[in-house]
């Protein structure tokens, strides 16, 4: 088996700093290392090669000369060859331009399997794998947590927001690997690197790739960064010593009452859905790719429709929704109630089982047929999977994981995307139309549904729907509607400061007292204490509850970037210097084993049982 392992060197995000005067990142003195997901890519490539009893594991990277360090490291942990796409013209590439270069090298060389990390921790896009698959016309599966060869076929299990899906597919194929797929390759030591110092690193130029200069690098990138700014939450933390747990919890509940954190949700209402634009421009259609769960549109779909309505008001456009699946026609009424003026139905029994290829085909057909000005898709396990594939097939760029969308001075859509662990937010412009963006759940506010509204229903022709080269063989749902974290009013988050998994009982008791959902940090879910679907943060879920209580959470930036839309944030930690306190409104410094029972008792005595409304907060981006 011949396997391509696509890898990337990334900077140490925690060492980056932001220059507020020049509005730029300070990279001087910041070292680089192999992207953590790509360490798993290498480990999987060499393991599969060995299991097959032959073949090659080829490490490939694109980058400046110093990226050779990553390739030397790949050779030291077992890669048979190392290939460096290194040419000044390749610099400044976005994900599609990167995918073009990688695909140009891979296509003529007969690889059976192409492996990529789920995403890189600097740009955090997670699109290159699906885009490479589109350009190579190969099946793909993203976020794979388990993989094995069985009777000549590849069996892969991918992680979804609600559980997991298992697919069967034939080779060649493209796979992106998640954290849990395999133990990562070791960090190369000096002695390991010395053993491979004599091995060659193959250097590949633009001429070798056979691509025009205009197809790669900055010139070939359909998306460009228009500017960057710091991404932070503006809070004024009030921190209290909790050596007297009962007194501290009495104070906290009084403060939360004063802030309105316990007011019933029905005391506030969502904004009313504004009327459609009068005499809209026909070239300003904003299409929302709908996603459903439990027979209803997911909250993120309502959020995207609301944002589409807001944007349509600014550009004098129209709002449409694309519903893909089997039996989705009854959802048209709900989509209309949330702002869709037109609903395109890609409705067929053949779309009943999810297929990245088929969903991408349906999205591509909708874009080609109805010519939207912008496309907004959910940044979920499904939206991230098929949207970049469809866009790559059309030569369109995609802004991944946007947290907000602006219209710039020239009337262009400019999604805002966090990067480098949430240190910055970048404003992204598209050189192609439609503008395409996937948007994180919980980042935008929906309107109140108006069930008197009606939409035009357009049934798409599905002639030519391709056969899927991935076959869904099993689907496991361990969460109802993604564990309700996306739409939870209250969340209690367990950190790895808990002494042992049995201590989760305390967290669950507090959640029960608050009527809250339970989430966890990455280390908690990595340890198997909670399901991966309950992980909150950059590599998990962004959430926007009215009240967020962090128990024994240290507060690394990879976690706190996921709670920027939370209302009132409460932190409990026995370390007064823990970063979580800088991201909290209220902090209790003390032992959670004493604080949690005290808070539960105070809540019961205070009769706190009602729903919550979001407290005011200011997000600076």
Residue 20: pLDDT band (50, 70, 90) is low
The answer to the question of residue 273 being in a domain is no
The answer to whether residues 74 and 171 belong to one domain is yes
What are the beta bridge partners of residue 148? 155
The answer to the question of residue 40 being in a domain is yes
pLDDT of 23: 59
Give the count of alpha carbons within 13 A of 487, CB side only. 13
Whether pLDDT at 577 is above 90: yes
The CATH number for 243's domain is 3.40.50.1220
Question: Mean pLDDT for the chain?
Answer: 90
The answer to whether residues 468 and 489 belong to one domain is no
3-state helix, strand, coil in the chain (%, to 5): 30, 30, 40
The answer to the question of residue 279 being in a domain is no
CA distance to 126, 243, 289, 354, per residue, from 433 (Å):
21, 59, 16, 27
Spatial separation of the C-alpha atoms in residues 297 and 318, rounded to whole Å? 20
Last residue of a domain, one of 475, 503, 534: 475
CA angle (194, 197, 203) in 5-degree steps? 150
The answer to whether residues 291 and 246 belong to one domain is no
What tens digit of pLDDT does each residue of 503-534 get?
999 999 999 999 899 999 989 998 889 988 89
The answer to whether residues 397 and 512 belong to one domain is no
Task: Quote the pTM value.
Answer: 0.88
Last residue of a domain, one of 456, 475, 494: 475
The answer to the question of residue 280 being in a domain is no
Residue 422: pLDDT band (50, 70, 90) is low
The answer to the question of residue 591 being in a domain is yes
The answer to whether residues 508 and 610 belong to one domain is yes
- For residues 95 and 135, the answer to whether their CB atoms sit within 8 Å is no
Domain extent, residue 398, equals: 285-475
The CATH number for 378's domain is 3.40.50.620
Whether pLDDT at 451 is above 90: yes
Count of domains observed in the chain: 3
pLDDT of 19: 67
Element (H, E) at 39: helix 36-52
The answer to whether residues 508 and 470 belong to one domain is no
Give the count of alpha carbons within 13 A of 56, CB side only. 13
**More reliable by pLDDT, 119 or 337:** 337
């Amino acid at each position: 088996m011949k396997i391509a392992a696509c890898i990337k060197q990334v900077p140490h995000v925690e060492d980056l700093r932001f220059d507020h005067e020049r509005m730029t990142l300070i990279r001087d003195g910041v070292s680089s290392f192999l992207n953590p997901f790509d360490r798993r890519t290498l480990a999987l490539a060499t393991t599969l090669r060995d299991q097959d009893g032959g073949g090659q594991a080829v490490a490939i990277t694109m980058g400046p000369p110093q990226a050779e360090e990553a390739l030397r490291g790949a050779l030291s942990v077992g890669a048979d060859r190392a290939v460096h796409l290194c040419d000044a013209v390749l610099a400044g590439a976005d994900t599609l331009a990167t995918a073009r270069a990688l695909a140009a090298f891979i296509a003529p060389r007969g690889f059976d399997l192409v492996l990529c990390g789920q995403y890189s921790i600097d740009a955090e896009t997670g699109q290159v794998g699906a885009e490479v698959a589109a350009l190579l016309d190969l099946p793909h599966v993203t976020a794979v947590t388990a993989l094995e060869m069985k009777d000549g076929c590849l069996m892969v299990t991918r992680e979804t927001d609600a559980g997991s899906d298992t697919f069967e597919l034939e080779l060649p194929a493209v796979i992106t690997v998640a954290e849990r797929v395999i133990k990562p390759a070791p960090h190369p030591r000096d002695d390991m690197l010395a053993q491979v110092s004599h091995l060659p690193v193959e250097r590949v130029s633009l001429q070798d790739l056979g691509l025009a200069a205009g197809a790669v690098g900055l010139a070939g990138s359909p998306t460009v960064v228009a500017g960057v700014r710091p991404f932070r939450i503006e809070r004024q933390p009030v921190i209290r010593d909790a050596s007297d747990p009962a007194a501290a919890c009495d104070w906290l509940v009084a403060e939360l009452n004063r802030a309105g954190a316990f007011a019933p949700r029905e005391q506030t209402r969502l904004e009313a859905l504004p009327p459609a634009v009068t005499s809209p421009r026909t070239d300003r259609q904003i299409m929302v790719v709908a996603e459903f769960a439990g027979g209803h549109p997911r909250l993120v779909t309502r959020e995207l429709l609301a944002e589409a309505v807001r944007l349509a008001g600014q550009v004098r456009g129209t709002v449409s929704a694309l519903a893909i699946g089997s039996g989705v026609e009854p959802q048209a009424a709900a989509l209309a109630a949330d702002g869709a003026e037109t609903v395109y139905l890609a409705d067929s029994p053949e779309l009943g089982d999810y297929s990245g290829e088929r969903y991408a085909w349906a999205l591509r057909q909708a874009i080609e047929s109805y010519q939207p000005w912008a496309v907004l898709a959910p940044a979920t396990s499904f939206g991230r999977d098929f949207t970049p594939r469809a866009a790559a097939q059309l030569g369109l760029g995609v802004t991944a994981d946007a947290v907000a969308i602006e219209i710039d001075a020239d009337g262009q859509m400019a999604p805002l995307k966090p990067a480098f662990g949430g240190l910055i937010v970048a404003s992204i412009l598209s050189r192609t139309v439609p503008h395409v963006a996937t948007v994180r759940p919980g980042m935008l506010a929906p309107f109140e549904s108006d069930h008197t509204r009606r939409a035009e229903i357009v049934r798409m022709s599905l002639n030519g729907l391709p056969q899927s080269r991935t076959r869904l063989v099993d689907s496991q749902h361990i969460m109802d509607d993604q564990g309700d974290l996306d739409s939870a009013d209250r969340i209690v988050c367990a950190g790895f400061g808990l002494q042992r998994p049995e201590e989760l009982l305390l967290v669950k008791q507090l959640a029960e007292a608050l009527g809250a959902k339970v989430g966890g940090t990455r280390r908690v879910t990595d340890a198997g204490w909670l399901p991966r679907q309950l992980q909150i943060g950059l590599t998990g879920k962004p959430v926007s509850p009215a009240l967020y209580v962090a128990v024994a959470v240290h507060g690394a930036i990879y976690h706190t970037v996921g709670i920027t839309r939370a209302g009132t944030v409460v932190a409990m930690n026995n370390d007064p210097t823990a970063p979580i306190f800088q991201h909290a409104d209220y902090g209790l410094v003390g032992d959670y084993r004493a604080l949690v029972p005290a808070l539960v008792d105070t809540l019961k005595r205070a009769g706190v049982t009602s729903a919550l409304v979001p407290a005011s907060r200011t997000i600076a981006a």
